Chains A and B, each alone.
Chain A
């Protein structure tokens, strides 16, 4: 083994040691194992320390990853068993030693009775004791060292065997692909009726599910639904027309507040009918979209992003301000916002509200699709790819950019109104910057310009955190990590946009002929 690959393995070990220490410092060495324990089916009540076995498994996975990486970095193809194992050993040893050192230092500080929570709020004495497996810091550290080396070697071994079976796997994949293409499964995929059946099944589920969900799940799913609405709206602005708007929450706030103020008994005593108020909220948001759009139409890219970012905050601060207290009730927020009624009957139970949201989502998806496939959608597509050329082909870029903003804002208004109505309350803190970021994240994670992507993104970013309650403290961390990982492995998003091919004619056959000048004459 050369010194350079020795260095690489040591480097890999160092990186993984830093990862483990980082996780330990933010208390994730408790959260991680409790997730592990949950996955294998144990029920853990909040606040209890998971078993040591779970910690071993959790750290073991990280160690295996370490070994796997180190083996890959030997740069041999195919991987050589001996050098891979050696690389794993080095990486595991380095990682283990550093983690051991960390355990020793933190353990002895903690043993002296110094509470480290002063510096890092999640570094409780219990978590430190747990991290050293309830033993003394020295023995705990040794366990870490052993675990690190063993798991890294295992990882290296796995990397080698995966490398060897890689060819077999790809053969298998081809076989399966061919089989699905040629057999009835392939023909089923192309079957149009199947689509209708699928849509029918989904609709049936949507009708049946809210009744069985119970109020907690209806609440969560309702939130997901509202975020789908927001995502669809922002997707029209960012995904379709290509304008990076960061202050989307402004439209959400305007929708929520205009709905709240005309239905709540205080402060204005208007108490309009739900449906009428909903319409007003949508229109108010759309108009605000145009008003904001007018001055910023000439801005592109980063400038647009920053100006709109500021705008989102301005709206929230205005709502909160003393100056507008008479109109918006300031930081106290608006209470007793009306719920939906139908033919004079109240319609605002959890289940009813869920149906309302589902209906709104379906309607929005339908509308967004229609727009996307229309003349307008084509104009947006052109603008998002090259605004100058779009202009040169006769697209009224000004009009269509404004239209995108107005439509996107209208969806936000609908979402905001439903949100306010469901909670029967809305305050300035419901409309913080985080909403904009969440919605933008779900659009990006799902796949910009893709409506199914938005739905998937909303479930991933708003639904998953509810399921993984343990991760709540780490939501921002997970967001960041998720975005980084997404940008690396799936830059197009979870469900990338695939535009319908509007041309019906089959592609012409390319005849065999000598390559002419055009195909030869490349430039750069």
Chain B
């Protein structure tokens, strides 16, 4: 098992955000966490990348607990989070943003190679390479955020709401890219409000509600499930 999240509890002050959530991910899978606002999807990701503290439970990555590692050590283990809301560095150029993605790596030649690979995958970014991140369009920023994540050569990519605030046609593109990244061997944990889209590329999925997993299954099972259809797929 690549990632095993066991019964974790997270609090924001007095607010009990994650109430004993468990889920897992096998090597090479795309697993989707779906649910409404405030269900705890993003918090689950941030708990894995250690940006928020976990009060109890355990997180195993490749059968090793990563619960007590600081965020930068998680990054060094090739678990990379792409935060929600297209969080790029607005006053760095595209190239500098990508370089930041490879911050924990030292091999200049490999970084150079990876960057070329990003420019092949995202030709738009190549055109914009010397532009400041903040001047890119929404879709370009999301691509940059993903590309920056890929620069760290992730084995497990934690994607937080990649479709947020983007036009449908761009969402299609982004999801094609996500599928392609997965085909090249990166496991992906995907958090999405757009359940339809997420389940269409995922292998398995978990439905979260107010800090708990209420349903789990393969993507097809969930897509067929009447409750899921009712709540997240816009009616049956």
Which residue of chain A lies nearest to B49 when distances are taken between CB atoms in the complex?
A392
A517 lies within 8 A of B169 (CB): yes
Bound state CA distance, A517 and B71, in angstroms? Answer: 36
Q: Which of B88, B89, B137 contacts A522 (CB 8 A)?
A: B137
With A508-B127, A519-B137: A503-B170 Cβ-Cβ less than 8 Å? no
Query: How many Å from the CB of A496 to the closest CB on chain B?
Result: 11
Contact assessment for B137 and A518 in the assembled complex, using a CB-CB cutoff below 8 Å: yes
Q: Quick check: A522 and B92 within 8 Å, CB to CB?
A: no
Q: In which size bucket is the chain A interface?
A: 20 to 34
B165 at the interface (CB under 8 A from A): yes
A508 CB contacts on chain B under 8 angstroms? 126-127, 129
Tell me how far the C-beta of A503 lies from the nearest C-beta in chain B, rounded to whole angstroms: 5
A385 contacts B95, C-beta separation under 8 Å: no
CA distance A292 to B138 in the complex (A): 40
Tell me whether A386 is interfacial, beta carbon within 8 Å: yes
Residues facing B in A452-504 (CB within 8 A) are: 501-503
Rounded to whole angstroms, the CA-CA distance of A393 and B140 in the bound complex is: 19
A521 in contact with B91 (CB, 8 Å)? no
Give the bracket for the number of chain B residues in contact with chain A.
35 or more
Q: Does A507 contact B (CB under 8 A)?
A: yes
Contact A394 B75 (CB under 8 A): yes
Task: Judge whether B87 and A524 touch: CB under 8 Å.
Answer: no
Q: Does B81 contact A (CB under 8 A)?
A: yes
CB distance from B135 to the nearest CB of A (A): 12
Across the interface, do A394 and B71 meet the contact criterion of CB distance under 8 Å? yes
Q: Is the CB of A389 within 8 A of B87?
A: yes
Q: Name the residue of chain B whose CB is nearest to the CB of A508.
A: B126
- A518→B87 CA distance, assembly (Å): 18
Query: Is B38 an interface position by the 8 A CB rule?
Result: no
Which B residues lie within 8 Å of A524 (CB)?
Answer: 138, 165
The answer to whether A379 has its CB under 8 Å from any CB of chain B is: yes
In Å, the complex CA distance between A502 and B93 comes to 10
Would B124 and A518 count as touching, CB distance under 8 A?
yes
Q: Does B233 have its Cβ within 8 Å of any Cβ on chain A? A: no
Cβ of B215 within 8 Å of any chain A Cβ, yes or no, is no
Complex interface: chain B residues within 8 A of A396 (CB): 70, 72
Which residues of chain A in 382-436 are interfacial with respect to chain B, using CB atoms and an 8 Å cutoff? 382, 385-386, 388-396, 398
| Residues from chain B with Cβ under 8 Å of A378 in the complex | 96, 99-100, 103
Taken together as a complex, chains A and B put the C-alpha atoms of A510 and B170 apart, in Å, by 21
Residue of B with least CB distance to A389: B87
| CB of A523 closer than 8 Å to a CB of B | yes
CA–CA, A510 and B130, complex, Å? 12
User: Are B148 and A393 in contact, CB atoms less than 8 angstroms apart?
Assistant: yes
Residue in contact with A385 in the complex, picked from B81, B90, B139, CB distance below 8 Å: B90
* A394 contacts B170, C-beta separation under 8 Å: no
Q: Is A122's beta carbon under 8 Å from chain B?
A: no
Q: Is A381 part of the binding interface, using a Cβ–Cβ cutoff of 8 Å? A: yes
Question: Measured between C-beta atoms, what is the minimum distance from A300 to chain B in Å?
Answer: 14
A517 touches B170 (CB 8 A): yes
> How far is B80's CA from A394's CA once the two chains are assembled, in angstroms?
9
Contact with B along A361-390 (1 / 0, CB 8 A): 000000000000000001101100110111
Residues in A whose Cβ lies below 8 Å from that of B72: 391, 394-396
Flag if A393 contacts B101 (CB, 8 Å).
yes
**Any A CB within 8 A of the CB of B16:** no
On whether the beta carbons of A518 and B140 are closer than 8 Å, the reply is yes
Residues on the A chain within 8 Å of B80, using CB: 392
B51 proximal to A (CB < 8 A): yes
B130 and A503 contacting across the interface, CB-CB below 8 Å? yes
Bound Cα distance from A192 to B18, whole angstroms: 59
CA distance A65 to B170 in the complex (A): 52
Contact A393 B88 (CB under 8 A): no
26 contacts between A and B (CB under 8 A): A378-B99, A378-B100, A381-B92, A382-B89, A385-B91, A386-B90, A388-B83, A390-B100, A391-B51, A392-B49, A392-B51, A392-B83, A393-B75, A393-B104, A393-B152, A394-B103, A396-B70, A501-B93, A503-B93, A503-B95, A508-B127, A518-B137, A521-B139, A522-B138, A523-B166, A524-B165
A394-B76, A519-B137, A523-B170 are known contacts; what are 4 more A-B pairs with Cβ within 8 Å? A378-B100, A388-B51, A517-B169, A520-B169
Give chain B's interface residues, CB within 8 Å of chain A.
Answer: 49, 51, 70-72, 75-76, 80-83, 87-93, 95-96, 99-101, 103-104, 124, 126-127, 129-130, 137-140, 143, 148, 152, 165-167, 169-170, 173
User: Chain A residues in contact with chain B, CB under 8 A?
Assistant: 378-379, 381-382, 385-386, 388-396, 398, 501-503, 507-508, 510, 516-524
